[in-house]
A and B are shown apart, each in its own frame.
Chain A
């Protein structure tokens, strides 16, 4: 701010008089109002894969900031999922009949990827308690519980952040533990079996994760961050509904199916570098994540968002994301009938070579002088797997075993401070 030379004395009273009146004329109601301490956020996700899964997910979050600086938030999420997902089985070359654990029978044309119909509802509750300790550190404690008809999850997590170097550097450590229980409908099939032998008890799955992060202010316009996470999973990590086709050793035509079987431990690591850069008005967010795990999946994720400020807190934010992963070491397109079985195998396309490209845009606005804000985001996701996965033979080589999946997702958001 520049200080002008002292104003000519005679006009000082006039200007003070005006300024004093301006100050005194603010209405009482406005002047006694404290900054909003409560917030309600409602979001709804509509997600549709072409010919496959449809998801409708409303989320309601309420948070309250207390006078002592502590904040409490609670969140309820409901997921309603229906549609079909690839079973893992191979196309037949003839008309093929597939059975699903729920007993549905589908007849599909030759060359088409066999799908399993499913529908599920998931309800999740999350709570978060934020406690500042002193002036430079914050502790956040969280708890989570979710329920699906075949999956239960409960977890706790915590993180501690400390600001150093006059708040130019923030260091964060965090950790979490999740105890999940998987109870497949119709019982748990043995791994790499024909799926007829099942047992009824629930399978447990535990994951513990650790986070180390830092963010650093570099210039007046630039903030960067580096985060590393490590997650150890153990227990039942198999997908009970996924299948692997057994191929005729000569023709490649499917002659039977086996269930999926995955190792009982998985160590996942990620390293994320992110940046936010403020141009004169707009902001560019960019991030790169490298991920690797003990199943030999490696992935690169690059993400850019560009927030373009319109007038008055309105903005548009185009977004692109590029993701590429390599296959898990036990991923196969199918198994050859009669050959010795591997220890682990899956034909779940999500553990194969995979590329995902996302483009989309967010638009945020508010109506009149309301403090509430509306957000609409639409995204197009195209996912392409390995069209000729490892291990397939015969007729299977002629099929595109991973045709691209197109997905549209739309998110509506509304936040209201009060």
Chain B
């Protein structure tokens, strides 16, 4: 069971903490009213859990589960799911097929536990038969996923939840707030003190202990992609957990950590994921996008 959010006072703002979407979440509220702050944290927690329940592929009965269990039959989805799939399709198109919500089945083959086991070529080949958005029929709110294929919106769900929560909070208060779900975040406008929210970018080797950079954010989203703890070692190389749907293998020569700042958390997260999928070309890709980024 998720724990109740706990709110504490830090300097001139409140920090509410709870866990959702597989990690620690926090909401920073620039204000003096504890009750109001707690209410805002609760809004964020409720929205995070709603999205987690609705889009986690591990939860029976939600739209993703229904789609993944349909065995080739059409599934009509609600409007929100349809919009998310539409967004994922845009990412698929823009990335030339690299960003693919059907590539999740490949993850069953891989153990990104820091060990050195990789799947056989045959296993990867067999699995690739069930990967590829091009095989999916998606039209008018109805999706037909060939039997054996699965979709996973995990690649955009957390960022989407951050922006949604930030939007719901902004509708309730004029206080500047920062929503941080497991490192993907959105920061509202300048605080009362005139300062902005400051976000540290951790050293991927020493998560949570050493911020290498400090980023000042006001009305912007920030997201990080990387392989901080989830990787496999193979022939002396360290392979991160993001898989290339064309080969079924982890993206090679990808940086350890890519942080991007953009107007929304979703945009930042997608850009950092797309950059990661470019492997060695990540830096070049982000430079051409004219965004602020940090590659470590």
Assuming the A-B contacts A1-B138, A7-B93, A24-B264, are A16 and B271 also in contact, with contact meaning beta carbons closer than 8 angstroms in the complex?
yes
The answer to whether A5 and B147 have CB atoms under 8 Å apart is no
Q: How far is the CB of B162 from chain A (nearest CB, A)?
A: 10
Binds A, one of B75-83, B120-128, B175-183, B187-195: B75-83
The answer to whether A12 and B94 have CB atoms under 8 Å apart is yes
Assuming the A-B contacts A3-B93, A16-B91, are A32 and B270 also in contact, with contact meaning beta carbons closer than 8 angstroms in the complex?
no
The answer to whether A23 and B96 have CB atoms under 8 Å apart is no
The answer to whether A9 and B289 have CB atoms under 8 Å apart is yes
Assuming the A-B contacts A13-B271, A28-B168, A167-B71, are A20 and B80 also in contact, with contact meaning beta carbons closer than 8 angstroms in the complex?
no
The answer to whether B134 and A1 have CB atoms under 8 Å apart is yes
The answer to whether B262 and A17 have CB atoms under 8 Å apart is yes
The answer to whether B285 and A9 have CB atoms under 8 Å apart is yes
The answer to whether B288 and A16 have CB atoms under 8 Å apart is no
The answer to whether B134 and A23 have CB atoms under 8 Å apart is no
Neighbouring A residues of B69 by C-beta, 8 Å: 135
Assuming the A-B contacts A15-B90, A167-B71, are A32 and B96 also in contact, with contact meaning beta carbons closer than 8 angstroms in the complex?
no
Q: Which of A12, A35, A166 contacts B274 (CB 8 A)?
A: A12
Q: How far is the CB of B267 from chain A (nearest CB, A)?
A: 4
Neighbouring A residues of B271 by C-beta, 8 Å: 12-13, 16
Neighbouring B residues of A339 by C-beta, 8 Å: none
The answer to whether A22 and B95 have CB atoms under 8 Å apart is no
The answer to whether B264 and A10 have CB atoms under 8 Å apart is no
Neighbouring B residues of A2 by C-beta, 8 Å: 134
CB proximity to A under 8 Å, residues B117-153: 133-134, 136-138, 147
Q: Is A340 an interface residue (CB 8 A)?
A: no
Q: Which of B90, B97, B168, B288 contacts A19 (CB 8 A)?
A: B90
Q: Which of B79, B97, B164, B267 contacts A17 (CB 8 A)?
A: B267
* Contact indicator per residue, chain B 267-296, by CB within 8 Å of chain A (1) or not (0): 100110010000000000100111100000
Assuming the A-B contacts A5-B96, A24-B167, A166-B147, are A13 and B262 also in contact, with contact meaning beta carbons closer than 8 angstroms in the complex?
yes
CB proximity to A under 8 Å, residues B42-56: 50
B138, closest chain A residue (CB): A1
Assuming the A-B contacts A10-B288, A16-B90, A24-B164, are A166 and B72 also in contact, with contact meaning beta carbons closer than 8 angstroms in the complex?
yes
A15, closest chain B residue (CB): B94
CB proximity to B under 8 Å, residues A1-60: 1-7, 9-10, 12-13, 15-17, 19-24, 26, 28, 30-35
The answer to whether A16 and B164 have CB atoms under 8 Å apart is no
Q: How far is the CB of B9 from chain A (nearest CB, A)?
A: 29
Q: Is B73 an interface residue (CB 8 A)?
A: yes
Q: Is B106 an interface residue (CB 8 A)?
A: no
The answer to whether A67 and B86 have CB atoms under 8 Å apart is no
- A358–B71 CA distance with the chains assembled, in angstroms: 41
CB proximity to B under 8 Å, residues A128-149: 135-136
Q: Is B231 an interface residue (CB 8 A)?
A: no
- A34–B153 CA distance with the chains assembled, in angstroms: 18
The answer to whether A31 and B270 have CB atoms under 8 Å apart is no
The answer to whether B263 and A17 have CB atoms under 8 Å apart is yes
The answer to whether B71 and A31 have CB atoms under 8 Å apart is no
Q: Which of A9, A13, A24, A135 contacts B163 (CB 8 A)?
A: A24
A4, closest chain B residue (CB): B93
B132, closest chain A residue (CB): A3
The answer to whether A16 and B167 have CB atoms under 8 Å apart is no
Q: How far is the CB of B175 from chain A (nearest CB, A)?
A: 20
Q: Which of A2, A19, A26 has the most CB of B within 10 A?
A: A19
The answer to whether B78 and A33 have CB atoms under 8 Å apart is yes
The answer to whether A7 and B96 have CB atoms under 8 Å apart is yes
The answer to whether A21 and B264 have CB atoms under 8 Å apart is yes
The answer to whether B133 and A13 have CB atoms under 8 Å apart is no
Neighbouring A residues of B167 by C-beta, 8 Å: 24
The answer to whether B291 and A13 have CB atoms under 8 Å apart is yes
The answer to whether B83 and A22 have CB atoms under 8 Å apart is yes
The answer to whether A16 and B136 have CB atoms under 8 Å apart is no
Q: How far is the CB of B65 from chain A (nearest CB, A)?
A: 12
A10, closest chain B residue (CB): B288
A5, closest chain B residue (CB): B96
Q: Which of A10, A13, A20 has the most CB of B within 10 A?
A: A20
- A3–B91 CA distance with the chains assembled, in angstroms: 12
Assuming the A-B contacts A15-B94, A20-B270, A135-B69, are A34 and B78 also in contact, with contact meaning beta carbons closer than 8 angstroms in the complex?
yes
- A9–B50 CA distance with the chains assembled, in angstroms: 34
Q: How far is the CB of A163 from chain B (nearest CB, A)?
A: 9
| 21 A-B contacts (beta carbon < 8 Å) | A1-B134, A1-B137, A5-B96, A6-B96, A10-B288, A13-B291, A17-B267, A19-B87, A20-B267, A23-B84, A23-B86, A23-B160, A23-B266, A24-B164, A26-B79, A30-B80, A31-B83, A35-B78, A166-B72, A166-B147, A167-B71
Those 6 A-B pairs whose CB atoms lie nearest each other, nearest first: A6-B96, A31-B80, A20-B266, A9-B288, A13-B289, A19-B90
A residues whose Cβ falls under 8 Å from a Cβ of B = 1-7, 9-10, 12-13, 15-17, 19-24, 26, 28, 30-35, 67-68, 135-136, 166-167
- Taking A9-B288, A20-B264, A24-B266 as given, write out 15 further A-B residue pairs in contact, using a Cβ cutoff of 8 Å, ordered by the A residue number: A3-B97, A3-B134, A6-B96, A12-B94, A12-B271, A13-B262, A13-B271, A15-B94, A19-B87, A19-B91, A20-B266, A23-B86, A24-B160, A26-B83, A167-B73
